[in-house]
Amino acid sequence: MAEGRVLVVEDDESLREVITEALTEDGFAVRAADNGRSALEVVREWPPDVVVLDLMMPHLDGEGFCSAIRQVDGLASLPIIVVSAARTAQEVGTRLGAVVSLRKPFDLFELTDQVAALLT
């Protein structure tokens, strides 16, 4: 059984639920947030081992979240998987230091495999 804490940050409720359910079924402890601001609150209370992050969200987008999280002691090198519909997802993900960038729509199995690879 897999282990590790995963924070899913996605403003699309349906997609957030699908990703959360898939990761939970794979044995990960999962928390979810609908924007970067809420995600920062979760991180302070429940430090994750990896973050699955959408780029385009209200209140605080993925780029703002990455900038903020890189300032938190102990989380500067937190692995981030970017998932985005943006055509520039790969380039933005690279600039933000994401370890993986997946363009929506993405293969759910590929995402869960990437999370598992980061946590093993």
Domains in the chain, CATH or no CATH each = 5-118 (3.40.50.2300)
Q: Confidence band (pLDDT; 50, 70, 90) for 37? A: very high
pLDDT-based confidence at 96, cuts 50/70/90?
confident
Residue pair 86/56 in contact by the 8 Å Cβ criterion:
yes
Q: How far apart are CA 113 and CA 54, in angstroms?
A: 18
Please state the rounded mean pLDDT for residues 46-65.
Answer: 93
